[in-house]
Chains A and B, each alone.
Chain A
């Protein structure tokens, strides 16, 4: 898809939107540094005299720690510090919702990879040898590995907080309602990993008095990290200063603390800077993953396919520590109806604790698991009613004002039908199975399932088409005090006035650093915009997650720039005898609406010392009661996906040929960035559909590396045909909805539905009620 940067995809901007303003696609300001390799990721940052830190981790999913013997490690030349639980000066545990996770395991370990000690040495080789020399004696315990055992209470709690992290029901409408038709199924979603390429890394520089520390780290939420680190170090928040190191992707995997406290502890212990960096194998152990889930669902509908009632039991395995499991579960159950009208529902949701790897945020955050279930159900329902899968989605499509099963009305624009129809209007691939024949009559193996492996001939392959539609809540929910801060000030620069923006918004690749200047240029009419360092010297921006930053940090930047603009207008109005309320920005001019006189905005700002910091909040949400009723979400976005997949039914291999999508974006503030989110999110949805899964056997990870945890390559990812539904959202500060998560939510069931469609044509009945779909699921 080609996106031009003249704003032509933005239907509501003024004609001829100035390049670099909202609605255009200026290049990202860090782009040249990134392509030249000079951009500093957190793993590229060092300091003179810094040591290298490393972490000792548990090899057992469940064990009592009998003893830890550091003596041999201390004898190794170059080992400078070793810390364990005994050395944590402040709070011993941390966590995003419950502080249930130990900085270091003290008496028990609860998952393979749990940190037990950290060590600082002169270089990575010595650090590695030091870790090898630490002797830990374990009493291996029987791990708790099934959700059933966690729920039925047969096992002792593996944590003082118990084995149930959260249990929440939703009861809505008439629980006894029935339809003419009922379909049910049990759906399994495997554990996906965020697999951001930029491995975990940090640099901690202790203050000379040892009463504070500066941490350079790649993370998603500077202030939340700050708060948790400070608590563990026994410092006031202000004494822990965070600076954002370049982030090599996040996708939810950096919301939780990983190496932050360890790195700071070591640095404070030795009084020298300490760097830490994870390998890929360690990274798989060092961050949370997407919750694996088991979801039973039953849909009741009229003969015409209208949903009457949904019943569901959802069980999410949160692993050893709570992380954000509680919120993930609530997303899943409150969105169980999908983007469809549903008058009655009974949903039972469980987030449980086991000795598996801890799970938490990953792009989609619970909506992904629910969507695979409800979209699989919709196809079953279509078949049972004798209705086309596309039609049944239209029949049930949600509209603005419809109610969720929590009782909350969807007040955002809800263009579900438009998403469906616009996707359907996108052309199907013009090449047949196997592509166009070559001159010698052969097919390019790369166009067939199996790729370079040359496993199939054209006659072995069937093409299928499948649909997926989804709803995602934006921002945080359940009465969370969700806000973002931004500072805007005018600075006289060497070449004229500059607008300086300062925020703590974590740039993880999504392009907020591109958008923020666009906002400033649009609001203030000044093109020279400088971004100050992203750190904790300004108020919190909240997390880069939940598709929230365009709305929240964008809203904060917008509000801060407007505050500056209003003061500029007041000044200009005074100078010229105009009414401040009559002034507006047009391009790079300030225009007096009464006289028509225009002056250059940059000139008008020169010499003005204006500095505004604003906290932006969205309207408050409520908690949900014991029946899951309450206006707990902020806003919603919708998307439709259509997948075309070529399937080799005999070998079970697939090739995704095309994914088409229409996404409800509100307003495309930077169309090229939006396309990037759409295509990247779809790749992750495709990954979950057919190849990505962390495999644990008896609580031990078996594929913690990129040889065996498979990410989609250039040859696995098809062209994406995308269109945006731009109905500006009246609730959003800039009319724009968040766009990061929807692409990875319904793309997964769309791919699976296409595989089922191909198999049906081949006369193969495979339920494919599990993702990722494995070849054996298709052909055996």
Chain B
């Protein structure tokens, strides 16, 4: 098959060998490149489950035309941390009970990593506003906010382990 275009994903050049014109990035990541971590739940950019980073900006991959993202640095949940060695955000989600069914989780992991890069110590309201693009149907959000605050505290203190906020 001819290579149509190449995407730069998680630090690797990934050729895309067949794709229809207009196909979105989420479907290319999942169905063409075997990166199943990003999830699709709405096809409209309303739920954030498909969130990825493109050139360090958080976007909904279902709203990115895959072939338009050539030459940009794409980071998915698979690129956040090596398998079996979760990032501090990922571990905090597990520890804080912020994961139930887990479908929204990869998108939230991306959004929280992005949030903490831009705002290292967000308050409750800021967390809610910045994560409003990520919908969770299981948790009611309380444990997720807890996880975010735990990471912020831990990063500030610069040591391992959890502090009870």
Contact = CB atoms under 8 A, between A and B. Distances in A.
Report if A and B associate in a common complex.
yes
Interface of A: 1-4, 25, 27-28, 30-41, 43-44, 125, 195-199, 246-249, 251, 279-281, 435, 444, 446-447, 452, 508-511, 672-673, 675-676, 678-684, 705-707, 711, 713-715, 717, 719-720
Interface in B26-42: 30, 36-42
Contact of B138 (A249, A447, A672): A249
Interface stretch (B1-9, B64-72, B90-98, B153-161): B90-98
Interface in B101-126: 101-106, 109, 124-125
Contacts of A43: 39-40
A681 B37 contact: no
B82 to A, nearest CB: 9
A35 B102 CA distance: 7
A519 to B, nearest CB: 19
Contact of B135 (A247, A681, A711): A711
Given A711-B135, A715-B128, 8 more contacts: A196-B101, A197-B49, A248-B103, A672-B96, A679-B140, A679-B141, A705-B42, A714-B134
B103 A706 contact: no
B37 A32 contact: no
Nearest to B105: A34
Nearest to A39: B102
Contacts of B145: 714
Contact of A706 (B30, B44, B105): B44
Tell me if A's interface is mostly helix, strand, loop or mixed. Answer: loop
A36 B86 contact: yes
Contacts of A27: 94-95, 97
A456 to B, nearest CB: 16
Contacts of B132: 713-715
A36 B91 CA distance: 10
A30 B102 contact: yes
Contact of A673 (B76, B97, B109, B146): B97
Contact of A197 (B101, B109, B129): B101
A199 B41 contact: yes
Contacts of B43: 279-281, 705
Max chain B Cβ within 10 angstroms of own Cβ: one of A41, A249, A510, A511 = A249
For the complex of A and B, list the 4 residue pairs with the smallest distance between their C-beta atoms, beginning with the closest.
Answer: A37-B37, A509-B101, A34-B102, A679-B140
A510 B100 CA distance: 6
A447 B42 CA distance: 28
Contacts of A33: 102
A720 B145 CA distance: 12
B140 A248 contact: no
B13 to A, nearest CB: 21
Nearest to A281: B43
Nearest to B144: A714
A540 B46 CA distance: 37
Nearest to B20: A125
A537 B80 CA distance: 37
B86 A714 contact: no
A195 B49 CA distance: 14
Contacts of A508: 101
A2 B86 contact: no
Contacts of A711: 135, 137
A38 B78 CA distance: 8
B77 interface: yes
B142 A714 contact: no
A676 B143 contact: yes
Contacts of B139: 676, 679-680, 683
A684 B99 CA distance: 17
A38 B47 CA distance: 20
A31 B103 contact: no
A33 B109 CA distance: 13
A675 B97 contact: yes
A36 B37 contact: yes
Nearest to B23: A125
Contact of B77 (A37, A251, A435, A678): A37
B37 A38 contact: yes
B164 A4 contact: yes
A194 to B, nearest CB: 8
30 contacts: A2-B165, A31-B99, A34-B99, A34-B102, A34-B105, A35-B90, A35-B99, A35-B102, A37-B77, A37-B109, A41-B103, A43-B39, A198-B101, A199-B41, A246-B102, A248-B39, A281-B43, A446-B129, A511-B100, A675-B142, A675-B143, A676-B138, A676-B143, A678-B140, A680-B100, A683-B139, A705-B42, A706-B41, A706-B46, A713-B133
A678 B140 CA distance: 8
Nearest to A38: B83
Contacts of A713: 128, 132-133, 135
Contact of A37 (B78, B125, B129, B138): B78
Contacts of B84: 32, 36
B73 interface: no
Contact of A447 (B44, B109, B125, B142): B125
B102 A2 contact: no
A249 B94 contact: no
Max chain A Cβ within 10 angstroms of own Cβ: one of B80, B101, B104 = B101
Max chain A Cβ within 10 angstroms of own Cβ: one of B49, B103, B105, B129 = B103
A202 to B, nearest CB: 16
Contacts of B30: 44
A248 B97 contact: no
A197 B143 contact: no
A678 B97 CA distance: 12
A707 B42 CA distance: 9
B127 interface: yes
A444 B80 CA distance: 33
B38 A37 contact: yes
Contact of A249 (B101, B125, B141): B101
Contact of A36 (B40, B41, B83, B136): B83
Contacts of B54: none
Nearest to B140: A679
Given A197-B103, A248-B103, A35 B109 contact: yes
A714 B127 contact: yes
Contacts of B76: 37
Contacts of A38: 37, 83
Contacts of B135: 197, 706, 711, 713
Contacts of B125: 435, 444, 446-447
Contact of B100 (A195, A676, A717): A676
A680 B96 CA distance: 14
A199 to B, nearest CB: 6
B40 A199 contact: yes
Max chain B Cβ within 10 angstroms of own Cβ: one of A444, A510, A673, A680 = A680
Contacts of B41: 197-199, 248, 280, 706
B90 A32 contact: yes
A711 B83 CA distance: 32
B131 interface: yes
A136 to B, nearest CB: 25
A197 B39 contact: yes
A32 B138 CA distance: 17
B137 A197 contact: yes
Nearest to A279: B43
B53 to A, nearest CB: 14
